[in-house]
Amino acid sequence: MIIEACEPRAPSPESRVFGTLPAVLAGAIERKTLSPPLKWAGGKRWQVPRVEVIWRHHSTRRLVEPFCGGLAMALGLAAGRALLNDANPHLINFYRWIAHGLRPSIPMENDEALFYRHRDRFNELVRIGRHDAREAAQLFYYMNRTAYNGLCRFNSDGEFNTPFGQYKKINYARSFSAYRSTFAAWEFTSGDFSALQLQPDDFVYADPPYDVEFTAYAQGGFSWDDQVRAAETFSMHPGPVVLVNQFTPRIGVLYRKLGYAVTELEAPRRISCNGDRTPAKEIFATRNV
């Protein structure tokens, strides 16, 4: 990002909605929030200052995230009330156990043999229907910290299949007590976004899987039809909506057609299978803000 000095000028429509850059940065500095407990591909922590400028006018509302992922937004906004959903049941199981005082007791080391033993045990729990157990939550955390690039990937049988990572050093959390009271005040659900019972005044922040080839973050994936369903569903919500996605021409056409105000942003590429960390374009779309 390049910031140039220039003569004073009238505020643009975008600055009236999102605030000036100094105001955004000042708000980010003043607020101290919890960091996400997991690594998560496509995390939106970098978007928190932009969303917070909108959120501060609606902070008494319930925050709803249909695709909550790594919780960067909910934690960054420090929402008092939240309904947080994700199609990945193992992710939600981990968050629920944190709300119940999860303290990992399994061995956790940056060791390849241990990683594959733990991965096999996790997949065994999935096969026998114990994916919601405390042990499964601990194993999920360990795999997230230890697997390649922090990727969360499943095969067609619903088994975790991300390989061992290549980290020199990993710091594993032995307690999540700092998150317990916050998570206990939030509601966590796992399922399709269309099943969420939205209230008219909910503030919706929707971050669906990118419109790209890799969408196997949960069994079943996320198709173009799902992208259309999501955009149409949230376009009918009477309350504030922020909808974000990686920029593709068809996503831009879809969102504008449905009446979203669309801005294109340069996003940091945090996780990439080929080592590419160059910025990627994202769409930041809003309604009723």
Specify if 3 maps to a domain.
no
What is the predicted pLDDT for the residue at 212? 81
State the average pLDDT over residues 265-281. 67
- What residues contact residue 47 under an 8 Å CB cut-off, 6+ apart? 73, 244, 265, 267, 284
Shared-domain flag, residues 223 and 259: yes
CATH, residue 214: 3.40.50.150
Residue where one domain finishes, among candidates 174, 199, 225 = 174
Specify if 65 maps to a domain.
yes
**269: nearest Cα among 257, 282, 252, 256:** 282
Summarised one tens digit per residue, pLDDT across range 207-218 is: 999 998 655 555
Specify if 99 maps to a domain.
no
Q: Is 110 exposed, middle or buried, given 0-12, 13-18 or 19+ CB atoms closer than 10 A?
A: middle
Reported as a pLDDT band with limits 50, 70 and 90, residue 274 is low
Query: Average pLDDT, whole number, for the chain?
Result: 87
**Distance, CA of 193 to CA of 236 (rounded, Å):** 14
State percent of the chain over pLDDT 90. 77
Specify if 5 maps to a domain.
no
Shared-domain flag, residues 55 and 155: no
Shared-domain flag, residues 42 and 79: yes
**182: nearest Cα among 64, 101, 69:** 101
Specify if 200 maps to a domain.
yes
Shared-domain flag, residues 130 and 204: no
Q: Is 228 exposed, middle or buried, given 0-12, 13-18 or 19+ CB atoms closer than 10 A?
A: middle
Specify if 36 maps to a domain.
yes
Reported as a pLDDT band with limits 50, 70 and 90, residue 277 is low
CATH, residue 133: 1.10.1020.10
Distances (CA, A) of 268 to 47, 224, 263, 280: 10, 24, 16, 6
Shared-domain flag, residues 82 and 207: yes
Shared-domain flag, residues 260 and 154: no
State the average pLDDT over residues 112-133. 98
**Distance, CA of 152 to CA of 93 (rounded, Å):** 14
**Distance, CA of 71 to CA of 65 (rounded, Å):** 9
Specify if 281 maps to a domain.
yes
Specify if 4 maps to a domain.
no
- Side-chain-facing half-sphere of 157: CA atoms under 13 Å: 10
Question: What residues make up the domain containing 77?
Answer: 13-94+177-287
Residue where one domain finishes, among candidates 174, 195, 229 = 174
What is the predicted pLDDT for the residue at 43? 84
pTM: 0.85
Domain count, the chain: 2
**137: nearest Cα among 151, 126, 128, 148:** 126
Summarised one tens digit per residue, pLDDT across range 5-32 is: 333 333 333 333 444 444 444 444 345 7
What is the predicted pLDDT for the residue at 148? 95
Shared-domain flag, residues 90 and 229: yes
State the average pLDDT over residues 183-205. 97
Using the predicted structure, report yes or no on whether residue 56 has a pLDDT greater than 80. yes
What is the predicted pLDDT for the residue at 10? 39
